[in-house]
Amino acid sequence: MERNILVVDDDKCLYDIISRILIKPEVGKNNLKFFYAESLEKAKNILSNENIDLVYTDYAIKGFSETGEDVINWINKNKLKAKVVVTTAITDSSLYQKLKDKGASQIMRKPFNQKTLMNSYKTNIEEV
């Protein structure tokens, strides 16, 4: 079964890291397709046109007023089934709770390691 993963971040480096780690055979036998958006507008376009299973979004998208919270809100408003993992270097536990209350399935602190990312994928993709 093909799984579609969207990475929303102002820095394409996160996309490169996530796609390189998750494409490894030990992650699973699923066929993975990756999409990249550096803004909420581009993310909306991809989410509208592709059947996205899992979104990794940075909380603070540099150069834009949107945040990972806006990605979650848009997914909720449009009743999409994509799971959302928010990546952030922010250490505010009240922000984490707010994002979880809005529907984030997980908050991943940056920097994260390969094992954390692989566990995140396995946990969230099984819920889709």
The per-residue pLDDT for 61 is: 82
Q: What is the pLDDT along the chain (128 residues), one digit of tens a residue?
A: 789 999 999 889 999 999 999 887 655 555 889 999 999 999 999 999 999 999 999 999 877 788 999 999 999 999 999 999 999 999 999 999 999 999 999 999 999 999 999 999 999 987 55
88 contacts: CB under 8 Å, gap ≥ 6: 58, 59, 60, 68, 95, 107, 108, 109, 110
By the 8 A CB rule, do 58 and 15 touch?
no
Residue 121 lies in a domain: no
The per-residue pLDDT for 31 is: 84
Structural domain count of the chain: 1
CATH code of residue 42: 3.40.50.2300
The per-residue pLDDT for 116 is: 95
Structural domain that includes position 89: 2-113
pTM (predicted TM-score): 0.92
